[in-house]
Structure 1
Amino acid sequence: MEYEFSKKPYGQDGLFGVKYDSLEASFMALFEINSHLWTAEKIQLLIDKSLSLKNDEEYEYKGDGSNLFMIIDKNEVFFYSSYSDKEEEDFIWPFDKFIQFLEDFKQFVTENQ
């Protein structure tokens, strides 16, 4: 696994996200998904919207309280950290990997709310 979920990613209670030290250098932008506003319901809405995309449709997503911006289409998901100096995406995941990440994240949030 390329990440480990945490309910204290900044050492503070009440946040859900990914442990910084668990990420490979090329995926560090994923740390910016950390937020105190994540709920299982919000994650499920993101899953549902992503799965409902048709053909060439895409949408942009920035979670409340998060510094991670994503462009999602049926093939790939482009991740951008608002702190990055890069003009292009920080990394890209295949769509199926993104959905699996969200399912795993939703389960973690559900178990730790």
Structure 2
Amino acid sequence: MEYKFKKYDISSPNIKNKTYSFGIDYDTLRQEEETLFEINSHAWTPQSIQELIETCTNVEGENTIDYQVDHGNLGLIIDKDEVAFFNLLESEKETEDFTWSIDKFINFLNDFKKFVEQNS
């Protein structure tokens, strides 16, 4: 695993049933990929990650998929070859923050899914 995943407790201190956000440890990210921190969300489940993996593997031809992380601030544009990452908090930006090959992104998602499965 190239990235350090993290489970964040986002509950109020007096709440018995804890709520967690799953994502990336910000301090472990390279500066050029800091936008990846915006993948953090309490809505991630192994099933939702698997659905995103399947979406990525089913893109064909010149088609693209626009994806926004539920309850997160990460936007993605996915095509059959690569994924462009956008920090949605920086709405004035018109270009992607960085790109990955589709294979690298799918490998990342598989590792992330394992982490969420083990920590849910």
- TM-score, normalised to structure 1, is 0.92
Identical pairs, percent: 47
Render the CA deviation track for 1:71-107: whole Å, top value 9, x for unaligned. 0001110000012243210000011000000000000
Render the CA deviation track for 1:1-23: whole Å, top value 9, x for unaligned. 65210002xx6351100000010
**Structure 1 residue aligned with 2:50:** 44
Which has the higher Rg, Structure 1 or Structure 2? Answer: 2
2:92 equivalent to 1:99: no
Q: Which amino acid aligns with 2:4?
A: E
Instruction: Name the count of aligned residue pairs.
Output: 111
Matched residues in 2 for 1:106 and 1:2: separation? Answer: 14
Q: Which runs of 5+ in 1 are unaligned?
A: none
Matched residues in 2 for 1:88 and 1:57: separation? Answer: 19
**Structure 1 residue aligned with 2:4:** 4
Q: Which amino acid aligns with 2:41?
A: S
Q: Which runs of 5+ in 2 are unaligned?
A: 11-18
Q: Report deviation, 1:53.
A: 1.1
- TM-score, normalised to structure 2, is 0.87
Name the SS of the counterpart of 1:54 in structure 2: coil
Matched residues in 2 for 1:56 and 1:86: separation? Answer: 24
